[in-house]
Structure 1
Amino acid sequence: MISITEWQKIGVGTAGFGIFFILFGTLLYFDSVLLAFGNRHKLKGTSFFLGGVAIVLLRWPLLGMILETYGFFSLFRGFFPVAFGFLGSTCNIPFLSALFRRLQGTSSMV
């Protein structure tokens, strides 16, 4: 009989929870009702992005990348102001502001 330590039991339990939640999340991700509900107002961006992927696979890479780029910006149009607002406020975060000041002082373009 193999003896299992307490740490191994905790590791097996944690791994089991992780596998369960990954499978449950994948199941919910591919649920057609949730996909339709989440992407209904972003149908144009999704179709351009997936169409661009299909065009790239059909060996038209330049046109496909242009379509993918347009679809990407169309999909994440509402997220960009939030991301840029966060990046603008990073000077107020103590650790990041010190890191940015240190990096700003060490770079020389000579």
Structure 2
Amino acid sequence: MVAITELQKIGIGVMGFGLFFLLFGVLLYFDSVLLAFGNILFLTGLALIIGFRRTAQFFFQRQKFRGSFFFLGGVSLVLCRWAIIGMLVESYGFVLLFRSFFPMALGFLLSAVNIPFLSAYFSSSPSMV
């Protein structure tokens, strides 16, 4: 079993608050202050969870340069109060950065059908077609 340090627990909480503020900022018609606060908390939480050195290594890999440029550029645009353009640029950078992670996440979600409680729920739910 993997041991989670206290700093990583704090990082999970900080990242959760960051995602909350990002979602709340989008729901309030791209409020730039909430989006900026959410971006700062999200990046801080990521650094606390995986460490500062590994965060820097992740963002500054040669093959991920374009994704990092767009993601961090979008964060800086949001910080400069260009919320809609910044979130679009940041979203494009997020997709470029994490595109290798998406197949694994999709495989995990599709394997949820094999979990006993969820498989009973999916088999009893009516079809949408």
Provide the aligned C-alpha RMSD in A: 3.2
Q: How does 1:80-91 map to 2 (within 5 A)?
A: 80-91=102-113
Partners in 2 of 1:21 and 1:88 — Cα distance?
Answer: 28
Q: How does 1:66-105 map to 2 (within 5 A)?
A: 66-102=88-124, 104-105=125-126
TM-score, length basis structure 1:
0.59
Matched residue count: 87
Partners in 1 of 2:98 and 2:92 — Cα distance?
Answer: 10
Residue 93 and residue 38 in structure 1: after superposition, are their counterparts in 2 closer, same or farther (change >3 A)?
Answer: same
Q: Which residue of 2 aligns with 1:45?
A: 67
Residue 21 and residue 62 in structure 1: after superposition, are their counterparts in 2 closer, same or farther (change >3 A)?
Answer: closer
Q: How much does 1:89 deviate?
A: 2.6
1:29 aligns with 2:35: no
Partners in 1 of 2:101 and 2:8 — Cα distance?
Answer: 26
Q: How much does 1:69 deviate?
A: 0.7
TM-score, length basis structure 2:
0.52
For the pair shown, the structure with the greater C-alpha radius of gyration is 1
Q: Which amino acid counterpart does residue 70 of structure 1 have in structure 2?
A: Y
Asked which structure has the greater RCO (Cα within 8 Å, sep 6+), the reply is 2
Partners in 1 of 2:57 and 2:5 — Cα distance?
Answer: 26
Residue 21 and residue 74 in structure 1: after superposition, are their counterparts in 2 closer, same or farther (change >3 A)?
Answer: closer
Residue 66 and residue 78 in structure 1: after superposition, are their counterparts in 2 closer, same or farther (change >3 A)?
Answer: same
Partners in 2 of 1:75 and 1:21 — Cα distance?
Answer: 22
Q: How much does 1:57 deviate?
A: 1.6
Consecutive unaligned residues of structure 2, counting only runs of 5 or more, are: 11-46
